[in-house]
Amino acid sequence: MPLWCIYHPPGTFEDPTSKQTLARDITTIYTMVGLPAFYVVVNFIPLPPTSMYIGGAPNDSKSKPFIRFSIDHIAVRLPNEDAEYRRVVTKINEILKPHVADKGYGWEFHVGETERRLWSIDGFEPPAFGSEGEKLWVERNEAVPWEGGK
CB atoms within 10 A of CB 63: 6
- The dihedral region occupied by 34, where left means phi > 0, alpha psi between -120 and 50, and beta the remainder, is left
- d(CA 134, CA 31) in angstroms, rounded, equals 12
- Minimum Å gap between C-beta 132 and its own copies is 20
Among 70, 103, 128, 129, binds its own copies (CB under 8 A): 70
Distance of CA 45 to the CA centre of its chain: 13
- Minimum Å gap between C-beta 9 and its own copies is 11
Q: Is 39 near its own copies (CB under 8 A)?
A: yes
- d(CA 38, CA 31) in angstroms, rounded, equals 9
Q: Is 74 near its own copies (CB under 8 A)?
A: yes
- d(CA 73, CA 89) in angstroms, rounded, equals 13
Q: Is 150 near its own copies (CB under 8 A)?
A: yes
| Amino acid type, 19 | K
Among 27, 127, 133, 134, binds its own copies (CB under 8 A): 27
Among 10, 11, 34, 54, binds its own copies (CB under 8 A): 54
Taking the least distance from each CB to its own copies, the nearer of 147 and 150 is: 150
Among 62, 102, 123, 145, binds its own copies (CB under 8 A): 123
